[in-house]
Amino acid sequence: MLGNFSYSNPTKLYFGEDSLNYLDQELPKYGKKILLTYGGGSIKKNGIYEAVVAALKKNGKEIVELPGVMPNPTSEKLAEGCKLAREEKVDFILAVGGGSTIDYAKGVSVGAAYDGDPWEKYYIKMEEPKPGDKIIPVGAVLTMAGTGSEMNGGSVITNHAQKLKIGHVFGEEVFPKFAILNPRFTFSVPKRQMVAGIYDIFNHICEQYFSGNDDSASDYLAEGLMRSVIHASRIAVKNPEDYEARSNIMWDATWALNTLIAKGKSTDWMVHMIGQAVGAYTDATHGMTLSAVSLAYYKTQLEAGLPKFVRFAKNVWDVSADGKSDLELAEAGLEAMKEWMQEIGVSLSLKELGVTEDMFEGIASATFILDGGYKVLTKDEVVQVLKESM
């Protein structure tokens, strides 16, 4: 393990089929007026909305509803939520949905007290809440596994006019205070969304794994999580209502991005930077933008990070080293990953997500270049990744 670090995660998790009952323990800790935010209304079809509202009323809460959070929440929607929360003087935000809804709730939680443009302040200027700034506490009822937003400070917002999709990772004061994780709540998610979420989980782990070649306990944890995702995904794509598989996927998602496996090491995140820029131009499903660019990106990292890619092939995919050079072994690991991606049905082409060649320069310009990986890309190399991902 490298460097010095501290670790704290303040989010309390309630996991399992009866986890929603724990709202009765958590809700009394917060004020009377609750901002209930959710997406397009699927929670009203599967009974989750009714159960949550019943719990809120049972605990004497006054409900202010904020529906219509889209899969890639926009800066306009963020401004709407901040204004509503401020005018209604809400005491607590309860986000019911997937990662986008929870991301959105965090943006509202820090932006509500600011009587200006929260997009400009927190996503363009990347300002942090100052000591004494009011942050509305957030709780989450998770209905889709993928982002890990239920146990971290991340909040991703899209501005279509500026063609930017930006994630701000806030400090632990913005983490959800609690999260309800009932794997059955994920059963109604369409299969394409399920597999997009699965790849999002897997790539979160890759982004933290493919950096550094020191002996790090975090990498051993990452390998175990990746193996779990692969195993459970193969079961879930055949039977989306296999509780054991879906429960493991949900738990993997949380631990993939709750800051644990990033400790003591550098991290990359360039697949996310490119994927988010693609999303800003196409509004495509987040996990699919990641899957479409991953293989081309990791080929740019292969030689510079060869020892880790060899380890990936051996420890994650069980590729035999017999008769192979290190480079051949590393390439076989990426080929095994590609075969798994095809097996579960994620996108391997940007073209099917709506990307056209005339977007390349704009997407590359909108991509934040980070330096945590094995090889730092130039803008021209980002363009080449896009070309090879078509």
Q: Does residue 257 carry a pLDDT above 90?
A: yes
191-388 and 12-186 share a CATH fold:
no
pLDDT, tens digit (0-9, with 9 covering 90-100), for 29-54: 999 999 999 998 789 888 999 999 99
CATH class of 191-388: mainly alpha
Token reading at 344: 């579960």
Q: Does residue 3 carry a pLDDT above 90?
A: no
Q: Does residue 2 carry a pLDDT above 90?
A: no
Please indicate whether residue 5 or residue 109 has the higher confidence score (pLDDT): 109
User: Domain spans of the chain?
Assistant: 12-186, 191-388
DSSP 8-state code for residue 74: B
Token reading at 219: 């990498």
> Binning pLDDT at 50, 70 and 90, where does residue 218 land?
very high
Alpha-carbon span 72 to 287, nearest angstrom: 12
Which run of H or E residues covers position 275? helix 270-282
pTM value? Answer: 0.94
The pLDDT, as a whole number, for residue 145 is 93
Q: What is the 3-state secondary structure (H, E, C) of 175-202?
A: CCCEEEECHHHHCCCCHHHHHHHHHHHH
Q: Could you tell me what percentage of the chain is helix, strand and coil, using 3-state DSSP and rounding each to the nearest 5? A: 55, 10, 35
Token reading at 205: 């782990």
The pLDDT, as a whole number, for residue 69 is 95
pLDDT, tens digit (0-9, with 9 covering 90-100), for 140-180: 999 999 999 999 999 999 999 999 999 999 999 999 999 99
Helix or strand or coil: residue 212? coil
Alpha-carbon span 292 to 203, nearest angstrom: 11
The pLDDT, as a whole number, for residue 327 is 97
Residue 268 and residue 207 in contact, taking contact as beta carbons nearer than 8 Å: yes
Alpha-carbon span 93 to 82, nearest angstrom: 11
**Based on the number of CB atoms within 10 Å of its own CB, is 124 exposed (0-12), middle (13-18) or buried (19 or more)?**
middle
Nearest Cα neighbor of 315 from 223, 231, 216 is: 223
pLDDT, tens digit (0-9, with 9 covering 90-100), for 341-368: 999 999 999 999 999 999 999 999 999 9
Helix or strand or coil: residue 81? helix
Residues linked to residue 131 through DSSP beta bridges, in sequence order = none
In the block, tokens 């009587």 appear at 115
Going by CATH, does the domain composed of 12-186 fall within 3.40.50.1580? no
Q: Does residue 219 carry a pLDDT above 90?
A: yes
> Binning pLDDT at 50, 70 and 90, where does residue 274 land?
very high
- Beta-carbon contacts of residue 208 (< 8 Å; ≥ 6 apart): 218, 222, 261, 262, 265, 267, 268
Nearest Cα neighbor of 233 from 270, 271, 265, 203 is: 203
Pairing of the two strands 12-15 and 178-181:
parallel
